[in-house]
Structure 1
Amino acid sequence: MTSATHRDAAEIGRTAQGPRPVPELGEQRSAADLSHVDTTLGNGLRVLAVRKANVPLVELRLRIPFAGADPLHAATAEVLAETLLTGTTRRDRIEIDTELALIGGELGTSVDPERLVLNANALASGLPTLLDVVADVLTSASYVDNEVARESARLVERLAVSRTQPRVIAREALLKHVYGEHPATREIPQAEDVAKVTPEAVRALHASAVLPRGSVLVLVGDIDPQGVLGEIEKALQDWKSDDSAKVLPPLPEITGGDVLLVPRAGAVQSQIRFIAQALPRTDPRYAALQLANLAYGGYFSSRLVENIREDKGYTYSAHSGFEFTGKTATVGVDADTANEVSAPAVLETQYELGRLGLVPPSEEEVESVRQYAIGSLLTSLASQAGLAGQLSALASSGLGAEWLAEHPARLAAVTVDEVAQVALEFFAPKRFTGVVVGDAESLAPKLAALGGFTVGEPAES
């Protein structure tokens, strides 16, 4: 009996005649025509209901603008999100969970400096019950003292662990570097602030900020979009206010500049984070910029990944991508590297930024990222949850189902020259700033040699 010989991927991919040919990319389908209703109710709530009947389920996303300038707002908002579903004047926590279980449903919350989000799903037949539970927590969440105390204690423990994580430290350092004291920087509250939050403060925040006017409700599933409006309006008839939900103030524009070295004594890894201003989805050039980003670092076959991961082995993961806040957009680059290769990784990351503009993506590169962009978009819309998530994300820009349906055509129409133009303009190294979090004793001399770096205050950990 002969023993099997292990072959690596390169050997498997070759024949006696040379490398195996890569199959031709298939023809991309256009986005499906989405039967939907997009309207605003009398209480100021925008409702976007979409029929997607591939399974007898429904996905719900409620996005409430939830900004606040008070120093304790982030902590109070986090406690509110943790305790919103712990009981109402009609139901306690167990009754909420039981009613959701009977309709195969789940309901969760999340919050950040920009928004409070309710995420839910259920059997389509259970939608009236789901809407009733959602309406109940929106209008009569009780925030009883012992529930607030219990969830606050758990939150303090989680925050203590979270703030030791290098990626969390790097994220906070980056936001403070580019936005200063803007409320957007308070993504994770301080544990000591959470300890100060009282049940009265949580109830007051709910009354003043959990508001329908300016919020967006997305429903996707086995529903009649037009017919479901009556159900929604009936369920939410008591959720009303003359005030509007609080929108995050516009972010300061990022103009580039020195990269900040944030000392983290004894760290064996560094976190590299670069950021620059980008284009919002509403800009006619966004599709071209999306393709340029993919070519740079937006997917596994990108230039950045090929350079610092595949070729040089500096990092396991490198990535670039967009972040949208309100009507503004940024493009960010991130990589985590071992200390000894952090400075070379920074050099190569900046080199690839410059090369994207000076040696723009070829026709073959553009076609590859175009197919990837269209294919990944259509894949993300294939499920009800994916479509609901996309529509909820678009809501902050005032966009909806039409934008999604038309975007594959926009991507298909982008020319190689248009990609080259936005690459040169928006990926120029001088437009970027950022942070490197790591051991300053070993990194500072090397980064100083590269130029464009300053040393900041040590990271809290």
Structure 2
Amino acid sequence: MTRTAEEIGRTALGPRPLPPLGDQRVAADIASVDTVLSNGLRVIVVHQPTVPMVELRLRIPFAGTDPLHSARAEVLAATLLTGTARRDRVGIDTDLALVGADLTAAVDPERLGISGNALATGFDTLLDVLTDALTAATYADDEVLRERARLVERITVARSQPGTIAREALQKQRYGDHPFTREMPDAADVETVSPEEVRELHRAAVLPRGSVLVVVGDVGLDAAVRQIEAATAGWSAAASAVELPDLPDVTGGELLLVHRPGAVQSQLRMSAQAVSRTDPRYAALQLANLAFGGFFSSRLVENIREDKGYTYHARSALEFTPSGATLLIDTDTASEVTAAALLEIRYELGRLGLVPPSSSEVDTVREYAIGSLLISTSSQSGLASQLGALAALGLGVDWLVDHPRRLAEVTAAEVADAALEFFAPSHYTGVIVGDAGKLEALRALGGVLMP
């Protein structure tokens, strides 16, 4: 007779007890090399032969102060891989497909990123196509005009979305007119970008010095460095890639209500200053954030989602910036419960400092943090992406391997200190996007700048 899962999980005395968690395994030493080539390109290679593939992540600092820089950069990223002096768009796609490879480019206010992968036997081809684009991208007029039109359409649609409106408003509330806020250009600015402007931006800003290339996969360390050195020999310049200027610290203050007529939902975005991965308080802050709103069983989710039903999704996360990090709380609620949700968020922020996470809470989020890190770095793709993000801070494999130990050593008292230091409600600023006429109850709470 076949038993159901429910029957298997129970005894005559009740549910079977869950087995205890095993010891959390810490990542073993990772075979790697971290070096700087003669052209100034930093190269990190990790030998991880779990599958016969190779993952590649290239980060080029790509800041600019010109108000039109973000528009030109978006068009550049969209057309970088559409043709070179040796290959047209079809030629690029064909050469990559023959070795099971893929390359994509994306840009933000901080960097131009190129990601790719290939069969390990096609690593030479992947490098050749990459460096061909870096040194000889043509940005043909017809390709630029075609991709520009597509970008205008996508940006126009995106800018009508409440999440995009909230994100842009939050960035300006936190950082004013700093170039870091220009995450999405205006469609009208993109329409003015010419092919020659894109070509000039490539010549001036796509530079190896100060950039980082991460390679993870079934490759030999020294052999891969030699391959990269040979492939990038023609990519050189005396100047360095341009980093963003430091951001001002986020200071607490009023939330700004952004009026969106007719909206039936509100977008709440709240932010406070945090510390970067290199700060000795970072591990404790990471665990405090998880306890507050960083995973599904957190205090914030239990309160405004599970108990009150104000939202389907709520979270708190660390956002890393060029010079540090911030805490971000985001959730969307129906207009009629927006004020109540804000009240509960402030309550949970205060409670985290006054009633800090218990030892059992800390143990739970510690297991989650270590397990999530190990899972995210168990694949070639995940490890490459993690290292690419760390490289921006000058960090590498050693930091990643050692972080589970730092998390394991954090005490409940240190988490309590982090909760009190970083989660005080007065430290937060932010925005609420919604129909002001439906949000009059916010006046009673105070701390919200109404239109």
Q: TM-score, normalised by structure 1?
A: 0.95
Quick one: structure 1 residues 314 and 22, their matched pair in 2 at CA, closer, same or farther if it must change by over 3 Å?
farther
Q: 1:322-362, CA deviations, whole angstroms, 9 ceiling, x for partnerless residues?
A: 11111310010000111111111111011101100000000
Which residue in 1 is equivalent to 2:110? 114
**Amino acid corresponding to residue 368 of structure 1 in structure 2:** T
Q: Select the residue among 190, 193, 199 that pairs with 2:189.
A: 193
Q: Select the residue among 316, 325, 340 that pairs with 2:336.
A: 340
Which residue in 1 is equivalent to 2:230? 234
Find the aligned partners of 1:14 and 1:327 in 2 and give their Cα distance.
Answer: 53
Which residue in 2 is equivalent to 1:131? 127
Quick one: structure 1 residues 148 and 434, their matched pair in 2 at CA, closer, same or farther if it must change by over 3 Å?
same
Quick one: structure 1 residues 152 and 339, their matched pair in 2 at CA, closer, same or farther if it must change by over 3 Å?
same
What aligned pairs does 1:143-222 form with structure 2 within 5 A after superposition? 143-222=139-218
Which residue in 2 is equivalent to 1:396? 392
| Residue 416 of structure 2 corresponds to residue 454 of structure 1 | no
Structure 1 position 377, deviation (Å) = 0.3
| Secondary structure at the counterpart of residue 25 of structure 1 | coil
- Aligned-pair identity (%): 65
Structure 1 position 22, deviation (Å) = 4.0
**Amino acid corresponding to residue 231 of structure 1 in structure 2:** Q
Which residue in 2 is equivalent to 1:42? 38
Quick one: structure 1 residues 52 and 191, their matched pair in 2 at CA, closer, same or farther if it must change by over 3 Å?
same
Q: 1:24-46, CA deviations, whole angstroms, 9 ceiling, x for partnerless residues?
A: 22211011211000011111110
Quick one: structure 1 residues 338 and 22, their matched pair in 2 at CA, closer, same or farther if it must change by over 3 Å?
farther
Find the aligned partners of 1:390 and 1:150 in 2 and give their Cα distance.
Answer: 33
Find the aligned partners of 1:387 and 1:266 in 2 and give their Cα distance.
Answer: 44
| Secondary structure at the counterpart of residue 164 of structure 1 | coil
| Secondary structure at the counterpart of residue 402 of structure 1 | helix
**Amino acid corresponding to residue 346 of structure 1 in structure 2:** L
| Secondary structure at the counterpart of residue 262 of structure 1 | strand
Structure 2: give runs of 5+ residues left out of the alignment: none
Find the aligned partners of 1:355 and 1:84 in 2 and give their Cα distance.
Answer: 50
Structure 1 position 210, deviation (Å) = 0.3
| Secondary structure at the counterpart of residue 26 of structure 1 | coil
| Residue 406 of structure 2 corresponds to residue 410 of structure 1 | yes
Alpha-carbon contact 1:41-1:47 (below 8 Å) kept: yes
What aligned pairs does 1:264-283 form with structure 2 within 5 A after superposition? 264-283=260-279
Which residue in 2 is equivalent to 1:423? 419
Which residue in 2 is equivalent to 1:459? none
Find the aligned partners of 1:18 and 1:261 in 2 and give their Cα distance.
Answer: 52
**Amino acid corresponding to residue 452 of structure 1 in structure 2:** G
Find the aligned partners of 2:185 and 2:355 in 1 and give their Cα distance.
Answer: 43
Find the aligned partners of 1:109 and 1:95 in 2 and give their Cα distance.
Answer: 17
Q: Select the residue among 93, 98, 103 that pairs with 1:102.
A: 98
| Secondary structure at the counterpart of residue 133 of structure 1 | helix
Find the aligned partners of 2:259 and 2:18 in 1 and give their Cα distance.
Answer: 46
Q: TM-score, normalised by structure 2?
A: 0.97
Quick one: structure 1 residues 307 and 21, their matched pair in 2 at CA, closer, same or farther if it must change by over 3 Å?
farther
Find the aligned partners of 1:153 and 1:12 in 2 and give their Cα distance.
Answer: 59
**Amino acid corresponding to residue 104 of structure 2 in structure 1:** G
| Residue 194 of structure 2 corresponds to residue 223 of structure 1 | no
Once the two structures are overlaid, the 10-residue window that deviates more, 154-163 or 14-23, is 14-23
Runs of 4+ in 1 over 6 A off after TM superposition: 11-16
| Secondary structure at the counterpart of residue 85 of structure 1 | coil
Structure 1 position 23, deviation (Å) = 3.5
Q: Select the residue among 247, 253, 261 that pairs with 1:251.
A: 247
Q: 1:95-131, CA deviations, whole angstroms, 9 ceiling, x for partnerless residues?
A: 0000000000000011000000000000011111110
Once the two structures are overlaid, the 10-residue window that deviates more, 227-236 or 14-23, is 14-23
Alpha-carbon contact 1:253-1:277 (below 8 Å) kept: yes
Structure 1: give runs of 5+ residues left out of the alignment: 457-461
Alpha-carbon contact 2:272-2:427 (below 8 Å) kept: yes
Alpha-carbon contact 1:327-1:396 (below 8 Å) kept: no
Find the aligned partners of 1:64 and 1:323 in 2 and give their Cα distance.
Answer: 20
Find the aligned partners of 1:299 and 1:14 in 2 and give their Cα distance.
Answer: 28
| Secondary structure at the counterpart of residue 441 of structure 2 | helix
What aligned pairs does 1:316-331 form with structure 2 within 5 A after superposition? 316-331=312-327
Q: 1:125-170, CA deviations, whole angstroms, 9 ceiling, x for partnerless residues?
A: 1111110110000001000111100000011000111111111111
Which residue in 2 is equivalent to 1:262? 258
Number of paired residues?
448
| RMSD between aligned residues | 1.6
Find the aligned partners of 1:14 and 1:257 in 2 and give their Cα distance.
Answer: 53
Q: 1:57-96, CA deviations, whole angstroms, 9 ceiling, x for partnerless residues?
A: 0000000000001111000000000000000011000000
Which residue in 1 is equivalent to 2:50? 54
Structure 1 position 446, deviation (Å) = 1.1
Structure 1 position 213, deviation (Å) = 0.5
Find the aligned partners of 1:157 and 1:195 in 2 and give their Cα distance.
Answer: 10
**Amino acid corresponding to residue 404 of structure 1 in structure 2:** L
